[in-house]
Structure 1
Amino acid sequence: MATLTHDPHVRHYMHCLPFGAQLTGAAHAQPHTRFRFWAPSCDAVQVVFENDACAPLDMTPTGNGWYEAQAQCSSGTLYRYRLDRGQLVPDPASRFQPQGVHGPSEVLDARGYGWQHAHWQGRPWEDTVLYELHVGALGGYRGVMKRLPALADIGITAIELMPLNDYPGERGWGYDVVLPYAPHAAYGTPDELKALVDAAHGLGLQVFLDVVYNHFGPDGNWLGHYAKPFFKAGKRTPWGDALDFARPEVRDFYSDNALYWLTEYRFDGLRIDAAHAIENPEWLRELADHVHARVEPDRHVHLVLENEHNEANLLETHFDAQWNDDAHHALHVMLTGESEGYYRAFADAPIHQLARVLGEGFAYQGDPSPVHAGKPRGERSAHLPPTSFVMFLQNHDQIGNRALGERLRALSDDGALRAATALLLLSPQIPLLFMEEEYGSTQPFQFFTAFEGELADAVREGRRKEFAAFSAFHDAAKRAQIPDPNDLQTFVNSSPPADAPLDDEQRAWMHFYKSALTVRARLLMPRLRDARPLGASVLADDAGNSVNALVARWRLADGETYTIALNLSPNGVRLDAQPKGMVVFETPERARDYTDNDVLPESACVAWLTGAVPEYALHHDARVMQHEEPLA
């Protein structure tokens, strides 16, 4: 819901929650708050106010496990629920926890923030270049806000925030969420989060939020005490008790959560973490339908999945895209030579799997996977547009879930990495970068938490035990070197320095990214809607053996042909027939001198556009094609 002030350019947004604490009558002398709480496992519930602001208030049972009450209290009031005259718990739909997940919840007036860029309607999905970041590692909401102009200047069009739904402790990745409606207090206030989103919109940047709907964290979740039916009896996941999405209360709790972030905080999209672990595709469709029906029709709002099952059917009508792990795994194996863990499924023919990714979307489309005990994985995806897939070389998982959190520059050759990065930035699939990647960062991003006591010990030892199956960590002494997630230094090691000047090497990487994203913005984005792959073919050496090189082609929306040739092998490889058209990007510099002779040099990526190049792009021709020259 939106309300207007006397200034027609400022709006105040609030999503009316059907549960939790909903402030009403805030403009009157005596505002009041309605409390609504689902506690089917309790016989009695009270609202208890901190600092004796009001006397404890008995809640009235209204049927099906619901309790309601109304009190004359205003924004800033701290409260908890008392279960059966005993245990005090926070509100599961708390809008803010100023003292953390174990403290009281706070009544908020969501209409208190005046949005300066209320005219913002988002951007089409085809315009999206995602930049994943950790808010805490970049200094909270204010720290992220300082970085926005530089990101927009490079060519980023969307930032994606790792989960900030409240979790225990001052620091963590955010996937141990226990209060999904409360933004994490250590990052700043709710109004500061809104100011970050507002500022991003003013710069033309979308803002996405990573949300966790498949489990609760191990510390601070009290739902099992008062709402046992929220969970499936006897069903466990790797993270705890499974949620029962067959229950309408569970479905509504998370559907409203999605709308809450999209309407009250004006996020432009959500990334659904580990959607496969929800194990309820019907609810995922229901969620998407709910969002599309309730969000203003003129807004661009996008829903993206992480889904190990590669369920292409969800991308046909309900979701904009899925994170394409297959693309990452194939490229990672070619860049690093690693073949342990889930990379086993890509160890035999990664270039053929990458060719399938570029030509058909997923590498695994019902094929048996060695990582899944030989069972089929995935569905046919060749009918989907390339923009149904989010491609990445690095993200929080693929860096931070390594034992030492190394980035790709610490594991691969710079020339080959540049070639793979050019493919990432210039493929018609939607690119995603991880924070500081654009500067060629070698700083690790490690797994960090702030658990205490026995839980801290269990997390530290469990993580080290997890890596015992990897050859580099068979030895217990080697495993002992894996950083302790709860050590503050692990977080410090993962946090980029603020306001640090760029050195020459960082500046060169930044110009590389900016050049490629300029090509994407000028020549690809306007032509991506309804683009379709034309196939990808693997190249061979003189003996006819496949090498880590390929050529992929797409038909763009205006009918022109777009071609990318990639060579990640250590030697040049012959092109059967040089693609026709204008070279719009190349790495290394002057790679087209070789391709003119039907040879693709080692560690190279070259992109051609066949057909008319828009007049507005031609006068930037030299700067577009030679990434080494800084862009104005």
Structure 2
Amino acid sequence: MSSFRFRNRFGAELIAPDKTRFTLWAPSCDRVVVEVEDLAPITMRRHSDGTFTAEAPCGAGARYFYRVRDEITVPDPASRFQPDGVHGRSEVLDPDTYDWKHPDWKGRPWEETIIYETHLGLEGNYEGMKARLQELADLGITTVQFMPVNSFSGHWNWGYDGVLVYAPTPAYGRPDDLKDLIDHAHSLGLMVFLDVVYNHFGPDGNYLLEYAKGFFDPRYDTPWGDGIDFHNPIVADFFIDNALYWLMEYRFDGLRIDAAWAITDRKWFYKLQSRIHKTVEKGRHVHLILENENNDSGLLRDGYSGQWCEDWHHTLTVMLSGEDKGFFQPFHTETTALLKRVLTEGFAWQGEYFPPRKKARGTPSSDLPPTKFVTFLQNHDQIGNRPLGERLITLSNPDAFQAAYALLLLCPMTPMLFLGEEWGSTTPFYFFSDFHGEIGKKVILGREEQFAEYCNLTDPEILKTLPNPIDPKTFRLSKPDRSQRDSPAGQAWLAMTRELLSLRHSKITPYLKGAYSAGADILGDKAVVARWTLANGSLLTIAVNLGKESASFTDPETVFYDTASDRRPGTLPAESLVAGLDRPL
């Protein structure tokens, strides 16, 4: 039998089949009692660092609370599972019960990464996602990335309102079901990444202030409340251990760190990286991705695998849709030059003043390999934070979007598709959560404030017509319509995706390690030709024209993809793309 267990510093750890050690950091308390069902309450021993410990004669399946004050019981912040939700008792688990069928899986090199971001609830939970993996592998996807799975309040949520970072939500199934899903993905050659949220907790079910006020530091304000005190070694280790728990016990192949810019101690990222390198088995590929408004190229230079490149997305969105509000507004100035810069250097903002944030943004990135930048035309944020949840494909001219889609999948940067994008889904993706009462009202108000700030949308009559984020129907309507996939248009788009990914696998991926930009030229309005020297010495050329006027350029020696079937050599028609290779000199 092959099993994996990461021994957490905190939480409930089996030390024998019928004995469990409980550990809780509760520095705000003088006394803590662990209450296990069917056992007498056990007073825990307090240690000098504010940690409480106790042992109890119970095994896997036991359910428990911590009583931190006479009138308050709380779930374990390091709970491995919450079968009755974030307000219920925690459950003791035995990680050794799952028998891994592919324990020797080592992952894949970063250069092979083609990400498919998805939401497990919309995929039909763990069981539904498992059934989908074969078609994604057959398509050419190499990596599936799940939006957060940690426990949240209610039955549906994006996942970024989680409050118990070690406990997979029961909304999707049991923990062993998640392990089975990951195990099956590995059998198909798919890596699995997890989106983790370490910068804030959700509004319902977070009890930390009741017993660990030192977890937070009010000096660090975030959009979600007081910042988490990553300068506190115990707090810092709580999240580092969590990352290792997902990587070692659940065998995820990588993590995407949400809103890294809101993590207040930059040194923490290096501590995390060091611990992972010391812990992960030799020869195993484990990848760390950042979402970071700061465009911090130093972290990428120092070993982080990649960063979501919003500059790439915003530039192309402005070109395709004319979007001009909020964060998109600065991309309306010299947009074609910005496209040239993101294709050759990754970040558009590398220390220049960024008006939406009223400060300088970014650091120089031209020395970084193109694979460090995770590129996308659509993701959960960029669709779901629009008032009507429209996908970019519905806001663009078809030929222009097809050219941009080909650019996404053939460019040496690391591409990412979003749920249903592979067949050209036009189903809206909304923000949804299962909150009620005052919290539900605050969620609705918060969305309206967000739309006012970023979309200039303040008309109360229009706001009344928008999808209600806490209505169950909003969740259901966000599930892509698979009948569209089976339609002639959907099958044609799938065939195009399959062809593009096949070309990437055969002509580009084997030569990405060591590839670098060979420069770019502006050919006209919204038209750029970019070149990269691949590891085998060949020159990859991609010319893209998202404008309305034809442009001229010199064809590469061998053209292997062209979106305009009637193109004449030496021309780049409006709303088209040409990709090709020149052999080494």
Between the aligned partners of 2:335 and 2:243, the Cα distance in structure 1 is 37
1:571 alignment partner AA? E
Alignment RMSD: 1.4
2:344 to 324, 343, 359: 359
Pairwise CA distance, 1:49: 1.6
Between the aligned partners of 2:80 and 2:510, the Cα distance in structure 1 is 39
Pairwise CA distance, 1:498: 6.3
Listed one character per residue, the Cα deviations across residues 408-440 of structure 1 (whole Å, up to 9, x for unaligned) are: 121111110000000000000000000100111
> Residue 621 of structure 1 aligns with which residue?
none
1:414 alignment partner AA? P
Between the aligned partners of 1:208 and 1:462, the Cα distance in structure 2 is 29
Q: Secondary structure at the match of 1:550?
A: strand
Pairwise CA distance, 1:199: 0.5
Pairwise CA distance, 1:213: 0.6
1:230 alignment partner AA? F
Q: Is the 8 A contact 1:218 1:240 kept in 2?
A: no
Between the aligned partners of 2:94 and 2:399, the Cα distance in structure 1 is 53
2:470 alignment partner AA? N
> Residue 467 of structure 1 aligns with which residue?
451
Matched, 1:128 2:113: yes
1:130 alignment partner AA? I
Pairwise CA distance, 1:279: 2.3
Between the aligned partners of 1:498 and 1:409, the Cα distance in structure 2 is 16
Q: Secondary structure at the match of 1:199?
A: helix
Q: Is the 8 A contact 1:285 1:318 kept in 2?
A: no
Closer, same or farther: CA 208–109 of 1 in aligned 2, 3 Å:
same
Q: Is the 8 A contact 1:464 1:482 kept in 2?
A: no
Q: Is the 8 A contact 2:307 2:373 kept in 1?
A: yes
> Residue 585 of structure 1 aligns with which residue?
561
Pairwise CA distance, 1:62: 2.1
Matches within 5 A, 1:72-111: 72-111=57-96
Q: What is the TM-score normalised by the length of structure 1?
A: 0.91
Q: Secondary structure at the match of 1:12?
A: coil
Q: Is the 8 A contact 1:472 1:478 kept in 2?
A: no
Identical-pair percentage? 49
Between the aligned partners of 1:612 and 1:465, the Cα distance in structure 2 is 55
Matches within 5 A, 1:336-485: 336-373=321-358, 375-469=359-453, 473-485=457-469
Matched, 1:32 2:16: no
Higher mean alpha-carbon deviation, 153-162 vs 497-506, is at 497-506
1:582 alignment partner AA? T
> Residue 294 of structure 1 aligns with which residue?
279
Closer, same or farther: CA 497–115 of 1 in aligned 2, 3 Å:
farther
1:556 alignment partner AA? L
Listed one character per residue, the Cα deviations across residues 532-580 of structure 1 (whole Å, up to 9, x for unaligned) are: 001111113xxxxxx10000000101111110000001121122xx133
Pairwise CA distance, 1:589: 2.6
1:588 alignment partner AA? A
Q: Secondary structure at the match of 1:298?
A: coil
Between the aligned partners of 1:337 and 1:393, the Cα distance in structure 2 is 14
Matched, 1:204 2:189: yes
1:491 to 469, 475, 486: 475
Pairwise CA distance, 1:468: 3.0
Listed one character per residue, the Cα deviations across residues 495-533 of structure 1 (whole Å, up to 9, x for unaligned) are: 135688611000000011110000100111100001000
Pairwise CA distance, 1:465: 3.2
Q: Is the 8 A contact 2:81 2:170 kept in 1?
A: yes
Between the aligned partners of 1:442 and 1:562, the Cα distance in structure 2 is 32
1:48 to 35, 38, 44: 35
> Residue 10 of structure 2 aligns with which residue?
19
Higher mean alpha-carbon deviation, 173-182 vs 342-351, is at 342-351
Pairwise CA distance, 1:223: 0.5
1:48 alignment partner AA? E
Pairwise CA distance, 1:470: 6.3
Q: Secondary structure at the match of 2:3?
A: strand
Q: Secondary structure at the match of 2:12?
A: strand
Higher mean alpha-carbon deviation, 426-435 vs 57-66, is at 57-66
Q: Is the 8 A contact 1:467 1:479 kept in 2?
A: no
1:458 alignment partner AA? K
Q: Is the 8 A contact 1:132 1:162 kept in 2?
A: yes
Q: Is the 8 A contact 2:114 2:414 kept in 1?
A: yes
Pairwise CA distance, 1:76: 0.6
> Residue 604 of structure 1 aligns with which residue?
576
Listed one character per residue, the Cα deviations across residues 287-314 of structure 1 (whole Å, up to 9, x for unaligned) are: 1111111111210000000000001000
Q: Secondary structure at the match of 2:329?
A: helix
Q: Secondary structure at the match of 1:409?
A: helix
Between the aligned partners of 1:430 and 1:503, the Cα distance in structure 2 is 29
Between the aligned partners of 1:121 and 1:234, the Cα distance in structure 2 is 42
Q: Secondary structure at the match of 2:122?
A: helix
Q: Is the 8 A contact 1:289 1:318 kept in 2?
A: no
Q: What is the TM-score normalised by the length of structure 2?
A: 0.98
Q: Secondary structure at the match of 1:169?
A: coil
1:376 alignment partner AA? A
Q: Is the 8 A contact 1:138 1:498 kept in 2?
A: no
Pairwise CA distance, 1:236: 2.5
- Equivalent pairs, count: 585
Matches within 5 A, 1:139-178: 139-178=124-163
Q: Secondary structure at the match of 1:24?
A: strand
> Residue 206 of structure 2 aligns with which residue?
221
1:71 alignment partner AA? A
Q: Is the 8 A contact 2:228 2:264 kept in 1?
A: no
Segments of 5+ residues of structure 2 without an aligned counterpart are none
Q: Is the 8 A contact 1:309 1:377 kept in 2?
A: yes
1:565 alignment partner AA? A
Closer, same or farther: CA 35–506 of 1 in aligned 2, 3 Å:
same
1:573 to 551, 569, 572: 551
Q: Is the 8 A contact 1:45 1:85 kept in 2?
A: no
Q: Is the 8 A contact 2:325 2:456 kept in 1?
A: no
Between the aligned partners of 2:228 and 2:571, the Cα distance in structure 1 is 55
> Residue 507 of structure 2 aligns with which residue?
523
Listed one character per residue, the Cα deviations across residues 116-150 of structure 1 (whole Å, up to 9, x for unaligned) are: 11121000000000000000011101111111011
Between the aligned partners of 1:612 and 1:95, the Cα distance in structure 2 is 54
Pairwise CA distance, 1:72: 1.2
Between the aligned partners of 1:314 and 1:187, the Cα distance in structure 2 is 33
Listed one character per residue, the Cα deviations across residues 90-129 of structure 1 (whole Å, up to 9, x for unaligned) are: 0000000000000000000011101111121000000000
Matched, 1:510 2:494: yes
Between the aligned partners of 2:512 and 2:161, the Cα distance in structure 1 is 37
1:483 alignment partner AA? P
Segments of 5+ residues of structure 1 without an aligned counterpart are 6-10, 541-546, 614-632
Q: Secondary structure at the match of 1:266?
A: coil
> Residue 630 of structure 1 aligns with which residue?
none
